[in-house]
Structure formats: structure tokens, C-alpha cells
Amino acid sequence: MQQLSNSKIPSITIEDPTPLPGNGKFHVKLIEGFYQNLRRIISWPMLALFFGLTWLRIDNLPVVLFDFSAHRIFLFGIELSWYDLPILAGIMISGASLLFFMAVGWGRVWCGFACPQSIWTWLFIRIEDMVEGRAAKRAKTDESNLTGLVLLRRAIKHSLWLMLSFATAITFSGYFVPIDQLLANIIALEASLFSLSWIIVMALLTYANAGLVREKVCLHMCPYSRFQGVMFDNKTRTVTYDKQRGEPRSHRRNAEDNTGDCIDCGICVQVCPTGIDIRNGLQAACIDCAACIDACDSVMVKLGKAKGLIEFYSEEQLSPSQNTDVQPQKPSSILSPRLLGYLAVFSITLIGVFYSLQNRTELLIEIAKERGSLYQISDDSVCNNFRIELEAFSDNLSQLKIAVNNHNGSTPLTLIGPKDIYLTEQNNTFLYRVCSPLKGQPTRSKIDFTFSNSTFSSSKQSTFIAPTQ
């Protein structure tokens, strides 16, 4: 039997992992800069759209409304039915493809610049900064007792947070119930218990997510943070610390011994809304908001050094083959098969959505033979009874004409019932009798019911049954 070797297994030293952020309270320092201005250019119009779209009307119809009671979806002047839900699925698929496209190209820029969680968190931080002072002052206040003016400021802050939360909840509810009707019911104390409960729950969730939980949502609740590493490749541009340029770190007073540009001021950590240190490498909690880039660039400018110690870099840009001295060379291309693949999926689904919108359901037609006998014979005629249910998804279809035609065209058909149909929201069920000469009528034949007006025409096929001759 082979003897086991007595040689010892070599030992290696494993560094302790960086603790997860958010385990303790921290205060975010607000910073100005190019990327923060860009974030506002993106987020403020989105906020304006969110709070404004519920009030806009096109032809006296809401711009966006998911009306459960009427089984309607109003989308920028287009009225959809629940039977057009695949169109919404296509919109969601195209949106997901666009999200993945951005993730492969530039990391979690959606999270940092456009995600509602981030936008509302920054709003809450702005309110906190306005009422209680800057981050350093807030941190110092937390160490003292809540008395007098400190307690008053704290109460004002939470009151403003709750006001914004309820405004958010009511606006969000306005995408499912007309906002003017909802507010009128609330003011008149006639809102249903369900509506009030929904608004309160939504407001409390907004208050907790943006005011109390904040970065824990991005780290522990958002699935995107878990699979972002799978989306990245060596061409993905994400917020990265240029280690070759910045290390070793040293304080400014020891600059003569420092071979790197990082002076270890810690401002990149102070401005991070998730509390991470970007110098420790890519982390799941990083949302690519670029606040650390603006903060570090401001320090570099004061020191008379080049910007870009922290920037949107790819692994390819910072690899030794692309790096001379401490500065990255010319930017590398972000194009990759994966990026082009997501762009292709996004383009195809978007084309499919537009095609589906042009061919959406405007009139839902259901035709069924009335229960009982398959046919009735009267003199020299055979008749079938039909129950017709119609549901229109356009205001132009309130009045229609009905006609019936035989496929073979050889046997004439007579339609017994009103030729003009007036559709209402309450009852759109109609009973008709179709008769044909008994002689020469086949046992089963296909017939078409046609519904039309001056601008619209749609047909539905059914079966006419006659006795065997």
C-alpha cells in the first residue's frame, strides 16, 4: 500500500473579507460634480413624469391608467384590453433587454441614475441635509440627546418624509384609479377601505425603503446586485478605482513618501449612498451612482493632479497590457458579442411591440350557438339561433352595423334581429336568428358575421347547421 507523504500542506494567509455595508448607521455627504448633475438630468424628468402623467389627458382619457374595473389599459392615447396583455409583456421584455444591455456596457448605471429606490433615497437624503444639516453635523447630533431644537428638526424631517411618502403612494394609486376621482373621495371621506389601506401600506413602504432601510434594499433585497457579476465582461465600464495609479496610499503630509495619487482622505466613502469603499474593488452593493468619482475628482483638482483616479473603467482598460506608468491608455471599445446580442433582442422586441400596437384588439367578438336545439325548421326554411357578445376597446365603435354572409355564397341567408348595434358598458349581449332556405342547404356550412361602421370592419366565423337531406 502506498505510503502517505509526511510533507506538510503549505499554509497561506487569507485576508479577512470586507464586512458588508449597512451594518451600522452612516450619513451620506452630498457632493456636486458632472455625474451628479447628469443623474439629476435623468432623475428629475422621471420624477416629473411620475407625478404628472396621472393628471394628463388625451381626448379626455388618462394618458396612463390600468383600469381594473373596466378591464381597460390606457397607454398614451391607445386603449388596450386585457386581451392585449402580451403587448405589455413585450414592453417588459424589451425593457429588461435594455437593462441588460446597459449592465453589460456600463454596469449598474440604471441603479445609480434611474432606479426609483435610488431616486427616492436621494430625495430623502436631500430633505435630511436641508433640515438637520450636513453629514458631519448629523453624525455629531446622533451622539447627543434628542432635546430642544434637535428633536424639533428630527420631527420636521420625518414629517416631510411622510408627506413625500403619501404623495408618492397617492400618485402611484392614480395609475390604477383616476387621480381626480381618488382625491375627491379622500377629501370627502368616501374612499373605500381597500383604497385607504393600499395608500397607507404604499406610503409606509416608501418611508421605510427610502428613509430607514435605504442601502439594505440595494444589497439584500434587489436581485440585480446578486447577478450583476454574471452580466459583466472585461469590456464592461463600471465605477472602478485605478489601483496602479492610487497605491500605495498616504496622507497629504506624507506626500514625499507617496508613490500613488490616493491621499486616503476617505471622501469617496463619505459620499457613497451604500457605505462601501470603492478602493476595495467591485462590490455587490455598488450601484454605480458615480458620487465617488465626483468627490475624488474634486480632490484631485485641488491637488493639481489629473482627474480619473476613480472613473468608469473596464478591466481591459486597466489591465497591464493597456497600462503604461499609471495612466490608462486610449479607451477600449465596449462592443462585445454579448452587448450586441442584448441590443438585438431589445430591437426585435421593440419592433414586435409596435407591430402589435398597430394590430391590437379593438373589438372582441364572441359568438355561440344558443343552447337547445341545433336548428329550427319553419315552413321551407331552417334557422339557427346565435348569442353574440361584443366588447369594444375604442370610442369609435359605439355604433356598428351587423351583416351575415355565407362562405359558399350559393345559399342566401336572412338575419333576423336589429341591424344597428349600440354598444354600452353594461350589456353588450345580443340574440340573433339566421335563416336559410331548407332546400340545397348543406348539413354544416361556414358563415361570417361582419360588424362595421364608416371606419372599421371586423368579422367572426361561426357554423350554420341544417338537417341532413
Kindly report which listed range (221-230, 334-343, 378-387, 409-418) carries the lowest average pLDDT score: 221-230
Is there a single domain that holds both residue 306 and residue 385? no
108 & 218 share domain: yes
Task: Answer whether residue 301 is part of any domain.
Answer: yes
Are 328 and 430 found together in one domain? Answer: no
Q: Is the pLDDT of residue 70 over 80?
A: no
Q: Say yes or no: 97 and 191 in one domain.
A: yes
Q: Are residues 59 and 174 in the same domain?
A: yes
Q: Say whether pLDDT at 93 is over 60.
A: yes
Instruction: Using pLDDT thresholds of 50, 70 and 90, give the confidence band for residue 32.
Output: very high
Give the number of other Cβ atoms within 10 Å of residue 110's Cβ: 19
| Residue-averaged pLDDT of the chain | 85
pLDDT for 257 equals: 58
The highest-confidence range among 11-20, 247-256, 450-459, by mean pLDDT, is 450-459
The verdict on residue 250 lying in a domain is yes
Same-domain check for residues 97 and 182: yes
Residue 352 lies in a domain: no
Mean pLDDT throughout 337-359? 88
Predicted confidence (pLDDT) per residue in 256-312, tens digit: 555 789 999 999 999 999 989 999 988 888 899 999 999 999 999 999 999 999 999
Which carries the bigger pLDDT value, residue 198 or residue 410? 198
304 and 220, same domain (yes or no): no
**Does 205 lie in the same domain as 291?**
no
Residue 5 in any domain: the answer is no
If asked whether residues 246 and 226 sit together in one domain, one would say: no
Domain that holds residue 434: 363-465
**Residue 12: predicted pLDDT:** 44
Report the predicted TM-score, pTM, of the whole model to 2 decimal places.
0.78
Domain check: are 164 and 214 in the same one?
yes
Residue 426: inside a domain: yes
Mean pLDDT computed over 359-388: 87
User: Which grid coordinates belong to 73?
Assistant: 389599459
- Same domain (yes/no): 295, 386: no
- Residue 27 inside a domain? The answer is no
| Residue 254, in any domain of the structure | yes
pLDDT of residue 420: 92
pLDDT class of 172 with cuts at 50, 70, 90: very high
Domain end position, chosen among 303, 337, 371:
337
Are 141 and 272 in the same domain? no
Mean pLDDT: which of 18-22, 178-182, 319-323, 406-410 is highest?
A: 178-182
Contacts 24+ apart (CB under 8 A), 216-222: 216/22, 217/117, 218/111, 218/117, 218/118, 218/274, 218/285, 218/287, 219/20, 219/21, 219/22, 219/274, 219/284, 219/285, 222/111, 222/117
The CATH number given to whatever domain includes residue 383 is 2.60.40.10
Question: Where is average pLDDT lowest: 9-23, 108-122, 225-239, 399-413?
Answer: 9-23
Number of domains in the chain: 3
* Torsion sign across C-alpha atoms 201, 207, 208, 209: positive
Q: What is the pLDDT of residue 267?
A: 94
Which of 230, 262, 290 marks a domain boundary? 230
Q: 81 or 98, which is more confident? A: 98
